[in-house]
């Protein structure tokens, strides 16, 4: 049974509470795993460093693919809830070159297999599918150590500890669980994003809304560009992407909105005026973000009682749009494997990892190839060839 007591201080006399299955991280992968297990009659507890479900804006749109993300939502019994939150029109795609020519304009015909959902809506429906006792907020894991026989002791930032029979690292890019399995760490991909939003776009930023259209929009050239989405709340979410050294972000103060705007306008100095003008409307400031990835094809030897899901297992650049889909697929596969092997955790983990490793390797290679395509030579022609089926970035 899941412990219902509060974790006790390491120095206290009471024994540390024990959780049969502890999932570290309440992102998409951790929540979906908990849902599959609990719906299957197996208790699991999710520990997240956030103070609560609304602590952090989720932002961004995700297209959820039939064979991975949607299949996982079916396994979790949540596909109907997902369909109800799909963003109509969100599968539209536009591609501009830096000279300002619209080289591809594909409407959402409503029959695509990659429906878009707001990341916050997806997380909210996963959270709503769980009983409150399955979620432990304010629980930042700082470390974990093996106790033998597949058990682990987990330490939280407030000094409390607990033990678990199965430790699942669903704690994202900078996982605290991953070192139990591999010394691998994320490395900078060479691309940095500076993100910004244009609120109430149709009324307040009609020119930008007309450039971006109803769904996803790319403007690319010379190893940089804009990647943008229309969101369900009528805002536009944009990433200006630059191929810059890792230290470049440290050299600038992005909290100064006007200086950042000038910096970006300089970086896009020879771009078409209507593309540069996308930067004009950013009122709420700019947020810098380096894009990191784990080595493609990362695996580890089986270590009793611990495994990884999602970005913790295979962080990759977002340019194939697969990270969230894989996170959901991993979670469904691990949950299914655990339900199929009651009482034999190691058999379940081996079965899960035999699917995880090759799938993640293929997709990481695809993400790396997509990065080269978007920020390499002749990006708009190659991207349009992908959308028309004439080019396979992995081929």
Ligand X SMILES: Cc1cc2nc3c(=O)[nH]c(=O)nc-3n(C[C@H](O)[C@H](O)[C@H](O)COP(=O)(O)OP(=O)(O)OC[C@H]3O[C@@H](n4cnc5c(N)ncnc54)[C@H](O)[C@@H]3O)c2cc1C
Given the rule CB under 6 A, which residues bind ligand X?
A: 24-30, 47-50, 60, 62, 139-141, 170-172, 176, 193, 309-312, 318, 321-325, 327
The least distance separating ligand X from the CB of residue 63, rounded to whole angstroms, comes to 6
The least distance separating ligand X from the CB of residue 61, rounded to whole angstroms, comes to 7
Between 120 and 305, whose beta carbon lies closer to ligand X? 120
Residue 170 has which token pair? 């669903």
CA distances 277 to 235, 269, 273, 280, Å, are: 16, 11, 6, 5
The least distance separating ligand X from the CB of residue 64, rounded to whole angstroms, comes to 8
**Alpha carbon distance 99, 198 (integer Å):** 22
DSSP states of 263-301:
HHHHHTTTS-HHHHGGGGG--S--EEEEEEEPPTT----
Partnered with residue 216 across adjacent β-strands are 93, 229
Residue 143 has which token pair? 């470390």
The least distance separating ligand X from the CB of residue 182, rounded to whole angstroms, comes to 16
Residue 363's H or E segment, with its range, is helix 345-375
Between 50 and 204, whose beta carbon lies closer to ligand X? 50
The least distance separating ligand X from the CB of residue 99, rounded to whole angstroms, comes to 26
Between 87 and 176, whose beta carbon lies closer to ligand X? 176
Between 41 and 336, whose beta carbon lies closer to ligand X? 336
The least distance separating ligand X from the CB of residue 13, rounded to whole angstroms, comes to 26
Residue 219 has which token pair? 């403007």
Residue 164 has which token pair? 């678990």
Burial tier of 29 (Cβ tally within 10 Å: 0-12, 13-18, 19+): buried
Which residues, including other chains, have CB under 8 Å from residue 301's CB and lie 6 or more apart?
none
Q: At 318, phi and psi to the nearest 5?
A: -80, 10
The least distance separating ligand X from the CB of residue 344, rounded to whole angstroms, comes to 25
Between 171 and 214, whose beta carbon lies closer to ligand X? 171
Contact 18, 164 (CB under 8 A): yes
Between 30 and 305, whose beta carbon lies closer to ligand X? 30
**Alpha carbon distance 357, 299 (integer Å):** 6
DSSP 393: T
Between 144 and 337, whose beta carbon lies closer to ligand X? 144
The least distance separating ligand X from the CB of residue 62, rounded to whole angstroms, comes to 5
Between 17 and 323, whose beta carbon lies closer to ligand X? 323
**Cβ atoms < 10 Å from Cβ of 94:** 20
Q: Closest Cα to residue 170, out of 77, 70, 47?
A: 47
């Amino acid at each position: 049974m899941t412990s219902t007591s509060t974790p006790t201080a390491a120095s206290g006399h009471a024994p540390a509470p024990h959780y049969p299955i502890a999932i570290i991280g309440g992102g998409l992968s951790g929540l979906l795993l908990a849902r599959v297990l609990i719906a299957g009659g197996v208790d699991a507890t999710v520990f997240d460093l956030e103070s609560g479900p609304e602590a952090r804006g989720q932002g961004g749109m995700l297209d959820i693919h039939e064979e991975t993300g949607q299949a996982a939502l079916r396994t979790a019994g949540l596909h109907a809830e997902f369909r109800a939150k799909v963003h109509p029109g969100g599968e539209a795609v536009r591609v501009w070159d830096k000279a300002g020519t619209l080289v591809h304009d594909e409407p959402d015909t409503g029959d695509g297999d990659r429906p878009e959902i707001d990341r916050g809506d997806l997380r909210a429906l996963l959270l709503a599918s769980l009983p409150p006792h399955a979620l432990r907020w304010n629980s930042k894991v700082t470390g974990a150590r093996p106790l033998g026989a597949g058990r682990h002791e987990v330490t939280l930032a407030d000094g409390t500890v607990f033990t678990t029979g199965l430790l699942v690292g669903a704690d994202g890019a900078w996982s605290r669980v991953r070192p139990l399995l591999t010394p691998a760490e994320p490395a900078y991909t060479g691309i940095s994003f500076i993100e910004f939003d244009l609120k109430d776009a149709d009324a307040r930023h009609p020119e930008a809304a007309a450039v971006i259209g109803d769904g996803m929009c790319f403007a690319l050239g010379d190893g940089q560009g804009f990647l943008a989405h229309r969101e369900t709340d009528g805002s536009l979410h944009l990433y200006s992407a630059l191929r810059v050294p890792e230290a470049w972000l440290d050299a600038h103060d992005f909290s100064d909105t006007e200086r950042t705007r000038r910096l970006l306008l300089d970086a896009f100095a020879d771009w078409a005026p209507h593309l540069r003008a996308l930067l004009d409307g950013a009122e709420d400031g700019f947020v810098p973000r380096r894009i990191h990835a784990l080595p493609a094809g990362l695996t580890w030897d089986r270590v009793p009682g611990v495994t990884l899901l999602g970005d913790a297992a295979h962080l990759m650049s977002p340019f194939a749009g697969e990270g969230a889909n894989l996170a959901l697929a991993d979670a469904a596969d691990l949950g299914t494997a655990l339900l199929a092997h009651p009482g034999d955790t190691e058999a379940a983990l081996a079965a899960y990892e035999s699917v995880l490793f090759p799938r993640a390797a293929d997709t990481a290679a695809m993400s790396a190839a997509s990065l080269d395509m978007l920020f390499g030579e002749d990006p708009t022609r190659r991207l349009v060839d992908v959308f028309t089926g004439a080019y396979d970035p992995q081929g």
